[in-house]
Chains A and B, each alone.
Chain A
Amino acid sequence: MPVQPIKFYQSGSFVVGNRLLDPDQRSVQADPNRTNSLNSGHRACQGCGEALGARYALDAAMRATNNQLIAVNATGCLEVFSTPYPETSWQIPWLHSLFGNAPAVSTGVAAALKAKGRTDVRVVGQGGDGGTVDIGFACLSGMFERNDDVLYICYDNEAYMNTGVQRSGSTPPAATTMTTQAVGPEPGNRFGQGKNVPLIAMAHEIPYVATATVADLRDLEYKVRRAMEFRGARYLHVFVPCPLGWGTASCDTIRIARLAVHTGLFPVFEAEHGEVVDVTRIPRQVPVAEYLRPQRRYRHLFGASPRPDVVARIQQIADRNIRRFGLLAAEPAPTAQEAP
């Protein structure tokens, strides 16, 4: 009988189709009995990376905790599109308090559960990049420093989307937003120092820090499951393209996220107690222009008066990430000392 060898990266990534796996290895989403923690019928835009990421993350967290989960949500797109009164898409106990306090509210939930001896019930806090890296940052750092038993998930779409796409501390250089227009000598967001919250989380030496994207949902599910194996503060930073804010096609959300990884612009890695323990390798490095060009927020870098100089600076960022995290498949994994 002729045998056809299976290539696990036929899709151009290492994503493996479920039907090639044993049932117990299949994704949580493939399970018809999944919890649909964030149920259908919400009002996210078509192709919303945040909705996709949240759905996978929370269903995975539900499975990992035997459905004993409470979620706390910061203000932002995820909160707004899921709960216009009187509808709610949440099938899990869910609390929204404010924009900048989700980590602290999560701490409160965890403290109450501890006082009540309900160690079986776990807590997930979640918010957008603005709610996490900017306005909620003090609460996040406090939660990390105390090592409260909370998994905090940041859905990073690189701007304040819910208020109509303004710059956040997570907006990348050159990207246009409604407060970083494509005008003046330095069009789009200026090149700043960046604010890498996964690395800042690692500096707190909390048990678990990881990054993930909606391009590799199996990896996202795995990281949620892994995070739930630890007690204490854990941080998961998920890259979630936003078709509305980035000016990308709704059908391109996964492709754009994959390009962010394959260019080296968004390193996917895992760290335990402050040390990198795993990085997701890139099969072959893709030039950043391929990632930037399909996004309207970078339109001013191409077209009639292109800015190859700016593209080159962004390429430098990607190249540095590749060196720093050892992202290329051929490169040796970074040792603990080399780890950032």
Chain B
Amino acid sequence: MVLRQIEGSRGVAEAVARCRPEVICAYPISPQTHIVEALSAQVKSGALAPCEFVTVESEFAAMSVAIGASATGARAYTATASQGLLYMVEAIYNASGLGLPIVMTVANRAIGAPINIWNDHSDSMSQRDSGWVQLYAETNQEAVDLHVQAFRLAEEVSLPVMVCMDGFVLTHAVERIDVPEQEQVDAFLPAYQPRQLLDPAEPVSIGAMVGPEAFTEVRYLAHARQMQALELIPRVAADFERVFGRSSGGLVRPYRTQDAETVVVALGSVLGTLKDTVDELRDQGHRIGVLGIISFRPFPLADVRAAVGQAARVVVLERALAVGIGGIVTSNVRMALSGNGTRDYTVIAGLGGRAITRASLREMLLAAEADRLEPLTFLDLNRPLVERELARAGERRMSGPAAENMLRDAGPATPWIG
């Protein structure tokens, strides 16, 4: 094991390269760029060979190139974020519909308008029903490890896998990582053996039109494959631990949930801050724990229920907003706890890169413990700012562009941006 002090993006790029992808295609978007830049250099120098690096003209083309490559039996990889992920949506659904085991990094970033390059989960959450497996990394070490597991998982169940890592917070953070050695990866990840192949020796048609007579069955199969993934993910993680000597991945990660009356559920890098906050509260005698969800699709209903079921209340910390209703993860968690009588709270936090501080978390969790929390809370919301704009809009018809108004009201040195 060699620990190196490197940027998360660089670690991911090196791990991906050791998975021996044969076709990499990418279109630049922050905060994904450092990953694909590093991979480009690997291909260009010949360090990663045989591999084609295709500099496409859009994310839609990136996913389309990956689809063609994967159907031709090549291990295919791409990476994107935010607007780029949305730009490729039609092809994202197509890749999973066709059952092509493409691996894609999503360097999680907010979605505009208003345009914002910073981190939240709006982008990948929008694709939760696309049929892709979605894994969320808590740390850069986990981001690196999940990529190695993702190829294995994708190819075993013939489904594409999205590895989601928080933009900037992880992608641009420099910390100590153990990047898997080539021999280890080779021992863990067998060569890609496709289930379907465009091959002149045995011609098949892929992507034919399917009518009502079989469409439901084809869709059901996609669900059945995700259910297979649900069983496979822990086994792949266990295998990974055997080969690499450290635990990474899996479905969920409970932290001090035993005997907890309150469990906070979250995904991604915010889990670090949450654990610190919970440690502090535990020291002061609060019965509180954390449940990290690594696999959001397939969603581990049973594991969530097992980890949270005993608690009186669950607080779901959401890094995205389902406008018009509230929480996305909450409704999934609620399904896991249905019939349990567990009270649930949705806390929308850290949108567009707003820092989630320990102080804010602590205050919010204490309120939750006392059941003083609103069912839907926006952490650190600058309410006067919102109210001023609502008032303006009420006063006159031509109230102007809302985001710009609020920026002006907030002033240059707003403390609300972390």
A-B CB pair tally, cutoff 8 Å: 161
Check A142–B73 contact: CB distance below 8 A: no
B115 interface residue (CB < 8 Å to A): no
Q: Using a CB-CB cutoff of 8 Å, which residues 13-59 of chain A contact chain B?
A: none
Check B23–A112 contact: CB distance below 8 A: yes
Binary flags per residue of A103-134, CB closer than 8 Å to B gives 1, else 0 = 01111111111111100010000000000000
B203 contact from A86, A94, A108, A114, Cβ within 8 A: A94
What are the residues of chain A within 8 A of B210 when measuring CB–CB?
85
Q: How far is the CB of A148 from chain B (nearest CB, A)?
A: 8
Check B60–A109 contact: CB distance below 8 A: no
* A92→B203 CA distance, assembly (Å): 5
Check B64–A104 contact: CB distance below 8 A: yes
Q: How far is the CB of A234 from chain B (nearest CB, A)?
A: 17
What are the residues of chain B within 8 A of A116 when measuring CB–CB?
22, 50, 72-74
* A79→B51 CA distance, assembly (Å): 31
Interface stretch of the complex, out of A4-12, A67-75, A208-216: A67-75
B55 interface residue (CB < 8 Å to A): yes
Check A104–B74 contact: CB distance below 8 A: no
* A104→B66 CA distance, assembly (Å): 9
Q: How far is the CB of A39 from chain B (nearest CB, A)?
A: 11
Check A109–B56 contact: CB distance below 8 A: no
Residue of B nearest to A117 (CB): B50
What are the residues of chain A within 8 A of B55 when measuring CB–CB?
146
What are the residues of chain B within 8 A of A109 when measuring CB–CB?
68-69, 71-72, 198
A316 interface residue (CB < 8 Å to B): no
Check B205–A94 contact: CB distance below 8 A: yes
A317 interface residue (CB < 8 Å to B): no
Task: Contacts A83-B205, A85-B214 given; indicate if A139 touches B23 (C-beta within 8 A).
Answer: no
A337 interface residue (CB < 8 Å to B): no
A101 interface residue (CB < 8 Å to B): yes
Check A108–B50 contact: CB distance below 8 A: no
Check B74–A85 contact: CB distance below 8 A: no
Interface stretch of the complex, out of B90-98, B125-133, B356-364, B366-374: B90-98
The size bracket of the interface on B is 35 or more
Check B208–A105 contact: CB distance below 8 A: no
* A107→B213 CA distance, assembly (Å): 33
Binary flags per residue of A73-96, CB closer than 8 Å to B gives 1, else 0 = 100000110011110101111111
Check A85–B69 contact: CB distance below 8 A: no
Binary flags per residue of B42-74, CB closer than 8 Å to A gives 1, else 0 = 000000001110111110110011111111111
Task: Contacts A107-B68, A111-B74, A116-B22 given; indicate if A142 touches B61 (C-beta within 8 A).
Answer: yes
Check A84–B203 contact: CB distance below 8 A: no
Check B207–A108 contact: CB distance below 8 A: no
Q: Using a CB-CB cutoff of 8 Å, which residues 259-300 of chain B contact chain A?
A: none
What are the residues of chain B within 8 A of A106 when measuring CB–CB?
68
* A195→B259 CA distance, assembly (Å): 70
Check A90–B203 contact: CB distance below 8 A: yes
Check A112–B206 contact: CB distance below 8 A: no
* A72→B65 CA distance, assembly (Å): 12
* A104→B60 CA distance, assembly (Å): 9
Check A97–B23 contact: CB distance below 8 A: no
A339 interface residue (CB < 8 Å to B): no
Residue of B nearest to A107 (CB): B65
B204 interface residue (CB < 8 Å to A): yes
Q: How far is the CB of A99 from chain B (nearest CB, A)?
A: 8
Check A104–B211 contact: CB distance below 8 A: no
Check B198–A70 contact: CB distance below 8 A: yes
* A96→B57 CA distance, assembly (Å): 20
Residue of A nearest to B51 (CB): A115
What are the residues of chain A within 8 A of B54 when measuring CB–CB?
107-108, 111, 146, 148
B209 interface residue (CB < 8 Å to A): yes
Check A108–B67 contact: CB distance below 8 A: yes
Residue of B nearest to A85 (CB): B210
Residue of A nearest to B202 (CB): A93
Q: Using a CB-CB cutoff of 8 Å, which residues 133-188 of chain A contact chain B?
A: 138-139, 141-142, 145-146, 148
What are the residues of chain B within 8 A of A243 when measuring CB–CB?
none
Interface centre among B65, B76, B202 (most CB of A within 10 A): B65
Task: Contacts A97-B207, A98-B94, A139-B57 given; indicate if A108 touches B200 (C-beta within 8 A).
Answer: no
Binary flags per residue of B70-94, CB closer than 8 Å to A gives 1, else 0 = 1111101000000000000011001
Cross-chain pairs A/B with CB under 8 angstroms, 11 sampled: A72-B68, A85-B209, A94-B206, A95-B198, A98-B91, A100-B90, A104-B64, A110-B68, A116-B22, A138-B60, A142-B58
Question: Contact residues of A with B, CB < 8 Å?
Answer: 67-70, 72-73, 79-80, 83-86, 88, 90-98, 100-101, 104-117, 121, 138-139, 141-142, 145-146, 148
Task: List the 4 closest A-B pairs by CB distance, nearest first.
Answer: A108-B68, A142-B57, A96-B207, A112-B74
